[in-house]
Every structure is written in C-alpha cells, then in structure tokens.
Structure 1
Amino acid sequence: MILINPTDRTFNSWRYYEFSDFILEFSFSIVYATVLFETGIQLTAWLNKWYSWDRRIKSRFVLQFILHIGIVSIGIILFFKIKFPHYFGYDELMLRQTVIISVIFSLLITAVFAAEYFFHKWHDVKLKTLEMEHLTTQAQLDALKLQLDPHFLFNNLSVVTALIEDQPSTAISYVAKLSSIYRYMLMNRTLNVIPLAEELEFIKSYLFLYQIRYGNGINVRIDEIGSAALSSVPPLTLQLLIENAIKHNLFSTESPLNIHIYFRDSQFMVVENNKIPKTNPEPSTNVGLKNIMERYRLLSDQIPLITDENLFFRVEIPLIDPHHSKL
C-alpha cells in the first residue's frame, strides 16, 4: 500500500523493507487496482440485466456508485484485518486513505460506464434514424410507384374524362383529390410520424378516387377519432393497408369489399375488412405489411397485430405518442 499512500511516515518505513516486501507491496497494489476495475465491470454487467440505464439514469448511477463503494470497502476492511509487520504501516490512517481513494476511483469508473452507455445509445439512435429514413423513403417510393404506374394514371384519367362530360362538378373534385394525394406525400416525405388526423384526411381523399371508380363495390366506414386525435402514425400506413385489402380481394356492387377503420381504447387504430379471396391470387411479397412492421420496430415498443381469419382480415396499429417515440 506504500504506492498509494506516499506519506513521510510511509517513506521512512521503506528502510525496513526487504526486496520481497517491495514485491509483495507491488502485488497488493496491482490486485487493488484490478479489483477496483473488475468489480466495476462485473457490477455493470449484472446491473444491465436487472436494472438497466434506460429511463432511470440518475438512480442507476447512484445505485452502481454505492454498490461499487460498498463492495470495494468491504474487501479493503477485510484486507486490513490481516496482521502484517508493523513497518508496513497498515493502520487506521492508511485504511481511511485507501477507502477515500476507492471512493474517488469508484466515481470515475461509474462515470466511464455511464458515458459508455450514452455513447452506445447515441450510436443506436443514429443507426435507427438512418434505417427509419430508409424505410420511410422506401414506403414513399412504393406508394409513388403504385400511383405513377401507367395503369393507375390511365384509369384515373379515363375516369376524369368520363366525369367531365356527365358530372363536371365531380370531375373537379376528383382532380382536386388526386392532386392532394401527391401534395400530402411531398409535404410529409421526411417525417417519421404524422398526426393521425392528417393521415385520415389523406386517406379520405385517396378512397374518394376508388369509390368514384368502383361505386358501391368498396364501402369504407371510419369511426369518430375521439381522444386518439392526439396520437400519430407513420405516414402512408393506412394507404398501404387499404391497397393490401384491394389487391387481395374480389369485390363488386353485389359483394362489396367492406373496410372498417375504428379506434380501440385510444391506443390502437384497427383496419378490418371482409375477405373475398381472388380465384387466381396475385403473388404476394407482403412488402407493405413488412414495411409497416419494420417502421414500428424502430419507432415504438409495440408492433402491429395481424389477424387473418377465414372471413376477415384485421390489422391493429398501435397509436404513437409523438413525444415518446424512439426517434
């Protein structure tokens, strides 16, 4: 302990040391430093399992600091119970000095592990942000591909042409809704989440196009939003779900596709439709559903719940508090 207690009294005691005493003293110092750091490492690993840093940084720091001091102090006190020759100077003064040094190093070690947590957290958030931007961009590209598809444009232009002759006022509304779809995507292309009310307004414009084309072949019922209005969802979530329902089902005026959008406990938005499977179903890659699931994995602790029964298909979308999302 001479190496960590350089007082005049200790220096004078060196005169009585033999070479083996210096080796022993050096070994004690190495063991002391090893115990300090190894205890911090093992304690951090143990607390990470039972009391992680997430959302309780202050209490975790204090807990780890106190436990570290306690464990090391107990070891030091037990060490000083050993009877060494008097010239080693292992007395009450050295005990107090060693404990004080332990407190200082315990504080520094705990601070290092806290800084390590902040660094890894920052790095994880950065990676998740980049991944989220990629997924959001991919969702927008998928939606744009669908809407810029020649068949999509041709069908909509054909509808407008027919409406201009017979229902000019409806044609004007149709063009206005079509333009609002593109405006919505351009305005929200860089956002991770948007207010639920905006997503619902967008989907009403989007559904207007289909209902003009298919008439009563598609029936959509949207319940009152209520207190869920304060929540958010990833952009284009509803569009991807509705496109999924239209893509995989047959429908007509006699056997319509019924889509019901409602809100459960102000925590979930539920999109449910009856199933009328196509005779020759299109190959499905579930790209839309996978995109939604991946974005929720990054944004929230909850993920959408999919229920696929014989008569209906349901997706429960967790509503996100914009102030407590992961990104």
Structure 2
Amino acid sequence: MKSRNHKLFRIYGFPSFGLFLYLILVLLNPLERTFVSWESYGPFDYLIEFMLCTFYAMVICETGIQLNQWMSLFYSWDHHIYSRFPLQLLLHSFVLYCLIRIFFLFDFPVYFGYDTLLHRQLIIIGVIMSLLSTTVFAAEHYFYNWTAANTRSIELERYTNQAQLEALKLQLDPHFLFNNLSTVTALIDQQPATATAYVTKLAAIYRYILGNRDRDTIFLYEEMEFINNYLFLYETRYGESIQVNIEENKTMLRAEIPPLTLQLLIENAIKHNIFSKEDPLFINIYYHEPNTMVIENNKWLKAEGRAGTKLGLKNIKERYRLLGCPLPEIVENDEIFRVEIPLIITKNS
C-alpha cells in the first residue's frame, strides 16, 4: 500500500482531537468531582492537562498510522481484509493499553484525579478510537484503490481507443486502400478465386476492428485469426518478399492479449524495413518461456525508420501497464528486432 502523507492531519488534527478528548473526559466525570478537582488547580494545571490530552490524542493517531504502514508491508489489506481488520484493531488496542499502564506509573498530584476510574475511561476511549482509526484506514485504502482503478480504466480506454484509431487510420489510409484495390483489380482477371478470398479477408479485418473496439483484452485465437487475414493481404501483394512463420500452440490459444497488439508489431516491421524477393522480411511468431509470445523480424531499416516515434510500441506498453500485467520486453540489435509479449492468463483461459 502506498504511504499517505498525514502532515496536515498531524498539524491540525492532533490539537483538535486533544481538545475534543479533554471535553469528553470532563463530560464523562461527575460534575461535583470535576469542580472539586478544578478548585485546586493552579494557573498552569489546565494547560498541563490539555497538553496531556493532546499527547494522548497524538499517541492514538500516530500509533495507528505507524501500525497501519508497518502491517501493510507484509499483510496487505488487499489479500487479508477479513483478518487484517481485527488483527490491527487488537494490536492497536494492546499498544495503547501498554502505554496507558506506563503513564499511570508516574505520580501526579492527587487533585488531578488520575485514579482507577480515569484509567478505565482512557482504556475504553483508546479501544473506541482504535476501532475508528482502523475503520478509517481500511476505508482510506479502498477509496484510493477505487479512485486509482477508475483512473486506470479511463486511461486504458483512452489508449485502447487510440490503438483502434491508429488501426482504422491504417486501413482507411488512401495508399492502403489504393494498394489493396489495385491488387484486387489485378487478381480479378488472372486469379478470380484469390481475388474473392482477398476481398473476404479485407472485410474480415474491418469486422474485427469494429467489433472489438470496446474490449480491453481478447482471446489469442481471435487475434491470430485476424492476423492470418491481415498477413494474407501482404503476402498476396508482396509474394515471397514477406515470409511469416507462426508456431502453433493450441494450449495457449485461450490466453488473452490486448486487441491489435500483433497487428501493430507486424505493421511496425513492414513499415520501417526495406525488403525484396532477394532479401525478404522474415517475421517469426513463436512462444518462449511460460506465457510469452515472441514477434521477431530481421532488420534493415529505411532511412526514415531510424528516427521513428515508436508510438505503436508505447501504446502496447501503456495498455499492459494499465491492465496491471508485466510489460513487453524489447530486444534489438543490428540484425533483429524482437518483442516479447506476455500472455494474460485468466479464469476463462
């Protein structure tokens, strides 16, 4: 749990709580006893008693703060809510009980009335305040978690929408459409069956993007079906200039990834590299270690590709971060560019 800044609470809360505690102790005691004690008070006795109440208030709050932060290091609210609350309450009450016992070892003037009745009152107040502070800390933790979750959800939606828009811009790009329509036109007379398949794949690409734009993650088998359609367009257009090898792993197809992750990486490889039939672009998609997919390509960068903005990679990393998953790892040298994508395993996987 992230440590909170309680500076303002310490500055203004301790004195206010001390005054409140002072009034409570006055109201708890019979008026006769209170006024008899006050008849013997000197000029500084009221100040001393108020300072003692403020000190006790500070002890109650500060021990609660420190105990809460200490327990959060190894016994978090997230995973132990039902046992953490009573445990923290008991520990806080025990600490206050021990401090009260130590306090009553000191000898105070008799007219202060620091007797067994006050001893019991302070213990009862300590237990009540322990209950309140533990409740506040639990509520604070879940309030911050709720706020953070809402913030992450909004950011995730923004980055997901950005990825969808980038993909749509790619598909609606005039050059992309012109190239695909030109390919279809050339295929209609020579290879009508291939032309039909080409149009079908192109339609499936649009259907996938529009149909999954509101999802944070998607099953890998759905993404792979989309990628096969997507690669069909490029392999038909470029022939042997682009060679893709995809390793089969049926056990991982129910894992999940953010939509369009593979598409962004493949598009990144095609966009930034020079390739030809003599020097093809090799794209390998395979699995490495538990729950990791690797997208790897040989590298021969275009001149403008050397200073790329890498917006696609940034988008993928941000979506993984907002999902609370391990971030993709990038390995790059003069010959290869490799991205290791963690696969998300859920109960539905």
Whether the TM-score (by the shorter chain) exceeds 0.5 is: yes
CA-to-partner distance for each residue in 1:135-183, whole Å, 9 max, x for gaps? 1111111111111111100000011111110111111111010001010
Q: Normalising by the residue count of structure 1, what TM-score does the alignment of the two structures yield?
A: 0.90
Q: Quickly say closer, same or farther: Cα 1:147–1:282, change in 2 above 3 A.
A: farther
Query: C-alpha distance in 2, partners of 1:45/1:16?
Result: 40
Unaligned runs of 5+ in 2: 1-21
The aligned counterpart of 1:33 is: 57
Q: Contact between 1:2 and 1:10, CA under 8 Å: does it hold in 2?
A: no
Q: Quickly say closer, same or farther: Cα 1:87–1:7, change in 2 above 3 A.
A: farther
Q: Contact between 2:26 and 2:34, CA under 8 Å: does it hold in 1?
A: no
Give the Å deviation of 1:14: 3.9
Give the Å deviation of 1:59: 4.2
Greater mean alpha carbon deviation, residues 271-280 or residues 254-263: 271-280
Query: C-alpha distance in 2, partners of 1:62/1:230?
Result: 40
The aligned counterpart of 1:160 is: 184
Q: Contact between 1:227 and 1:266, CA under 8 Å: does it hold in 2?
A: no
Secondary structure of 1:230's counterpart equals: coil
Which residue, out of 30, 41, 55, partners 1:19? 41
Residues 199-278 of structure 1 mapped to structure 2, 5 A cutoff: 199-278=223-302
Secondary structure of 2:199's counterpart equals: helix
Q: Contact between 2:293 and 2:342, CA under 8 Å: does it hold in 1?
A: yes
Identity of aligned residues (%): 52
CA-to-partner distance for each residue in 1:60-89, whole Å, 9 max, x for gaps? 434432332232222111001112344544
1:109 to 2:133 alignment: yes
* Residue type at the aligned position of 1:134: R
Query: C-alpha distance in 2, partners of 1:194/1:227?
Result: 16
Residues 1-327 of structure 1 mapped to structure 2, 5 A cutoff: 3-4=24-25, 11-12=32-33, 14-17=35-38, 18-20=40-42, 21-49=45-73, 51-278=75-302, 281=305, 283-322=307-346
* Residue type at the aligned position of 1:187: G
Give the Å deviation of 1:279: 5.7
Query: C-alpha distance in 1, partners of 2:23/2:174?
Result: 84
Q: Contact between 1:193 and 1:322, CA under 8 Å: does it hold in 2?
A: no
Query: C-alpha distance in 2, partners of 1:95/1:239?
Result: 71
Query: C-alpha distance in 2, partners of 1:319/1:177?
Result: 26
* Residue type at the aligned position of 2:294: V
Q: Normalising by the residue count of structure 2, what TM-score does the alignment of the two structures yield?
A: 0.85
